[in-house]
Every structure is written in structure tokens, then in C-alpha cells.
Structure 1
Amino acid sequence: MAQKASKTLAARNSSVLVRSHLIAFILHALYLILHFTFNRPRALKPYCLLAVPTLVIEFYLDRIGRPTYAADGSLRSPGEDLGAAGLTEYMWDVLYWTWGCIGAVCVFGDRAWWLWVVVPLYSVWLAYSTFTGVRSGLTGFGGAGDAGEAMGAESKRQKKMEKRGARGVAYR
């Protein structure tokens, strides 16, 4: 029972990687079969432009998440958690969205590649929301925002205390 968490993480990472490689293989093979069956000459350029980066992302996720074993079969490293928040989560989002775009292109045609525009827009929205979140967090420190507005705001408790005639809190 030693290293149960590591063994669980290694098993989960292995199953996630096998599943993602299988899905990617099926989608890419289906697209290429349809491409060469119907002989669409210009359709390979957007595929290469938009699918190759996701293959790089998939290779990177495999590299960091693949468990390594020693020669005797014992677990040496379970790999990084592929369900972690942050950049890993964003990479999975890009991967899933591209798979959806490839599926849409297979069903609806080459104009479905325009769905991939959502990925950069999503990145811009994430950057903006992160910036505004940091900015609002720094309001009380005099960094960003209106300092007079932040200092002038009173809580309900402070208003009640002033109504009763209390002058404030005395610190010793």
C-alpha cells in the first residue's frame, strides 16, 4: 500500500493519455480519409495550421503526464497531474475544442474551421478577467482604482455605530 496516491495518479494519467491518443487518432484519420476521398485541394492548409499545434500540445501533455517505471517494474514517477488547474487545464480546453472543430469540419465542411477563432478570443477574455481581478484586489492598497471610493465606503456595522453616537474604535 505504499505510495497509493502516486499509483492512483499514474493509473489515471495512463488512462487519460490512452483515451486522448485514441480519440485524436480516430479524428485525424477520419479527416484525412475524407480529405483524400473527396479530393479537396485547399482543405489541407487549415488542417495543418490548426491541428499541428494541438498535436504539439498532446505530445507535451504526454511528456509531462506519462508515468515512469524502474527496471524492476516499480513506479519511479507518476507524472504531473493532468487534471491540474491553470495552464494544463487551458491546454485540455484547446485540445477538446480542436477535436470539436475537426469533427465539425468532417460533418459540415471546411467553413467549420472558423469555429477555431473562439480559442484566441477565449484567451483574450481570460487575460482581461485576470487583469480586472488583480486590479480590483489591489484597490485597497492604493495601486489601482479610485482610492477615495475605497476609503469612503463604510460597512453597515460602522454606520450603525455612528448612529448610536460611538466615535470609533480606540486602539491601545
Structure 2
Amino acid sequence: MANKAAKQIARRNIAILKRTHLTSLSVHALFLLLRIFLYSSPRSSYLIYAALSSPSIVFEFYLERLGRPGFAPDGEMRRSGEDLEAKGLTEYMWDVVYWTWGCVAVAGVLGDRAWWLWAIIPLYSAWLAYTTFTGMQQGISGLSGGAEPAAGSSNRQKKMEKREGQKIQYR
């Protein structure tokens, strides 16, 4: 059972990537079929679609490259790929992919005005950057704190400070 964790990550990544590609193909095919056969769309509609769905496609292929496990010709796994459920930037890329799929589906059904939903992605990015910056500021200011106990200290810590180092007696 060597590399059990790596094999689990590889199996999970393969399943995630397969599901991602099938969902992406379905959503984009739905949009194009609705636009071609049900609605008479101007050329600008397809340009907007190409411009706003391209970040999702780029992220999808990047996640494919990042998470796809590598196998040797004899079937042995050379690398498991990065964990596609990791926090941080990977999580943000999945958010962009999912939100873009939603925007593509809604724009396919409701029309070009639904592309304004895509504007939430930059707003979400700005909010993440702001909360990260303020959290970092609080962390840095906490490093320079003095000997005073923090306002959010636990009850146990408060009791110990009241006792001021009382010794526990053993019997």
C-alpha cells in the first residue's frame, strides 16, 4: 500500500476532472444550441460569450494540467498531481469556473443582459483582497502586543491571571 494518499488524490482528481469537463461541455453546448436554434443572436453576443467565458476555460485547462496524475508506460503512477480541493488560489479558480458556468447558462436562457452577473467575480476578488489585507494587518498588530491579556482570552486564562500563579496543592 505504498503511496496510498497519493493514489487517493490521483483517483479523486481524475473523477473531478472528468466531471468538470463533461459539465463544461454541456453548459457551453447548451448555450450555443439555444443561441443558434432558438434565438437569433447578433454577432456581438458570441463575442461577449467568447470574452467572458475564456477565463473559465483557461482556468479549467490550468487545473487539468495541475491536477492530472502522470503515469508511466507500464501503468505505474509517476506523479499524483496537486490536490484540486486545496484552499487558496485553487479554490478561487474553481469559484470562477462555477460562476462562469452559471452565467453562461443564464445568458443562454435569458439573453445577453445576464452577462452582467459576471461582474460579481471582480467584486468578489476585491472583497477577498480586502479581507486578506485587514486580516494580515490584525495579525501584524497582534505580534507587537504587550503583556496585557487579549480581550478575547478564554475563561481559564482569566482565572489563572486572577490567581496570579497560585500553586496547585497535591494530596
The answer to whether TM tops 0.5 is yes
Give the aligned partner of residue 169 of structure 2. Answer: none
- Relative contact order higher in (CA < 8 Å, ≥ 6 apart): 2
Superposed CA RMSD in Å reads: 2.3
After superposition, the Cα gap between the structure-2 partners of 1:15 and 1:158, relative to the gap in structure 1 and judged at 3 Å, is: closer
Q: Does 1:33 align with 2:33?
A: yes
Deviation track 1:51-105 (CA, whole Å, cap 9, x = no partner) reads 0111110000000100110010111111000000000000000000001111111
- State the Cα distance separating 1:114 from its structure 2 match: 0.5
> Which range moves more in the overlay, 90-99 or 151-160?
151-160
Unaligned runs of 5+ in 2: 166-171
Question: Matched residue pairs, number?
Answer: 158
Give the aligned partner of residue 83 of structure 1. Answer: 85
Rounded Cα–Cα distance in structure 2 between residues aligned with 1:69 and 1:153? 52
Give the aligned partner of residue 7 of structure 2. Answer: 7
Unaligned runs of 5+ in 1: 162-167
- State the Cα distance separating 1:39 from its structure 2 match: 2.5
> Which range moves more in the overlay, 33-42 or 93-102?
33-42
Deviation track 1:82-134 (CA, whole Å, cap 9, x = no partner) reads 00000000000000000111111122221111111110000000000011111
- Which residues in structure 2 correspond to 1:22-171 (within 5 Å)? 22-37=22-37, 38-41=39-42, 42-142=44-144, 160=162
TM, length-normalised to structure 2: 0.82
What secondary structure is seen at the aligned counterpart in 1 of 2:136? helix
- State the Cα distance separating 1:32 from its structure 2 match: 1.1
Rounded Cα–Cα distance in structure 1 between residues aligned with 2:90 and 2:49? 23
> Which range moves more in the overlay, 1-10 or 69-78?
1-10
TM, length-normalised to structure 1: 0.82
Rounded Cα–Cα distance in structure 2 between residues aligned with 1:88 and 1:140? 29
Which consecutive segments of 4 or more residues in structure 1 shift more than 3 A? 150-161
Give the aligned partner of residue 21 of structure 1. Answer: 21
What secondary structure is seen at the aligned counterpart in 2 of 1:138? helix
